[in-house]
Every structure is written in C-alpha cells, then in structure tokens.
Amino acid sequence: MEVEFVEFVRRRGEHHLRTAVLLTGDWHAAEDLVQSCLGKLYRAWGRLDTSSDPDAYLRRIIVNTHRSWWRARWRREIPRAELPDLTDGRDLGETRAIAEDVRKALARLPARQRTALVLRFFADLSEAEVADLMGCSLGTVKSHTHRGLRAMRQLISPETLVNRIEEEGSVTR
C-alpha cells in the first residue's frame, strides 16, 4: 500500500502541485495545499480503489480543501485596492513572463471562476467532471467558465501580450 502511494506521488505529484499553484496563485500556499491533501489521501489510500483513477480522488480533495481554506481566509483578509507585484525581478523568458501575467490575472478572478478555468483548461476536465468536483450544476460551471474567460480577456488582452513582447524585444528582462 505504502509503496503504491509513494509511486503515485512521484509520478503525479508535480502535476497536482502545478494545478494547486494555479488555484491558489501562490507557490508556497500551493505546496501547503498539496501537502495537506496528500496527507488526507494517504489516510484513505487503503480504502480506495486506486486502480481506477487516484488522480480524481486527489483532485477532489484539492478542490474541496482549497475551497474551505479560501472561505476561512476570506474572513480574515483585508481587501486592498492594488495587488502587490508578484514578480521577483529574475531574468524571465517571454513564455515565463506571459505565464506570470496569466497567473496574476487568474489570481484576480473570484475563486469559483478561477477553479472552473483551472479544472477545465489546465486539468483538462470535462464540464461535467468540473461540476461534480465543484459541487454545482453543469450550467453553473458554464457560467463561471464564460465569465472567467471574459474577465481573463479583459485582464490580458492580445495587445498587452504584444506590447510586452515588443518591449522586451529579443532580450528578456
């Protein structure tokens, strides 16, 4: 049992960590989230039919745990007019810079829209699977996805990406 769990984490842990980074918008929070969820998964591992799809179990735990953390944190957070600059000033390539823009834009979305987009397009789940994971109807997932994509298009317009590429030229910042 333990060997199977360790092998699963080695094989799929990085993927779930990247999903958690997109959900949380913060690498350290994502690591905490995945660590907590892996602990929950390990406690249930012996009772699960892991031959079918252990990824689905872990995804559900991640989404539910993130939702409960977000709700608890929201009660303690103080909204700010401006988001802090999350870049660390390192030399980023064009692809990494655009990915950072996407992560920042995702972080500005409401949690439900962000979750729907990450599960639909990063985890590549169907709308029905997302609805099941989020505990809502298919129509709600479609609404969150539509609104999230519309907001992302406003936050990251093609002109913004073109301007960034032109500003950087062939030299990365």
Domain that holds residue 41: 1-76
**What b/e sequence results for 27-61 when a residue is b if at least 16 CB atoms lie within 10 Å of its CB, and e otherwise?**
eebbeebbebbbeebeeebeeeebeeebeebbbbb
Return the pLDDT at 46.
86
Return the pLDDT at 73.
56
Residues 63 and 111 in one domain: no
- Residues 125 and 172: their CA atoms lie apart, in Å, by 34
Residues 96 and 170 in one domain: yes
Final residue belonging to a domain, choices 76, 105, 133: 76
Residues 46 and 114 in one domain: no
Final residue belonging to a domain, choices 25, 43, 76: 76
Residue pair 30/20 in contact (Cβ under 8 Å)? The answer is yes
- Looking at residue 119, the DSSP 8-state letter turns out to be I
Final residue belonging to a domain, choices 76, 101, 120: 76
Please give the average pLDDT of every successive group of 10 residues along the chain, which has 173 residues.
89 93 89 93 86 86 86 56 61 70 90 93 91 94 94 80 56 37
Total structural domains within the chain: 2
Domain CATH for 147 = 1.10.10.10
- Residues 123 and 114: their CA atoms lie apart, in Å, by 12
Residues 62 and 17 in one domain: yes
- Residues 154 and 80: their CA atoms lie apart, in Å, by 20
Enter the pTM of the model.
Answer: 0.54
Domain CATH for 28 = 1.10.1740
- Residues 9 and 72: their CA atoms lie apart, in Å, by 27
Return the pLDDT at 172.
38
Residue 30 lies in a domain: yes
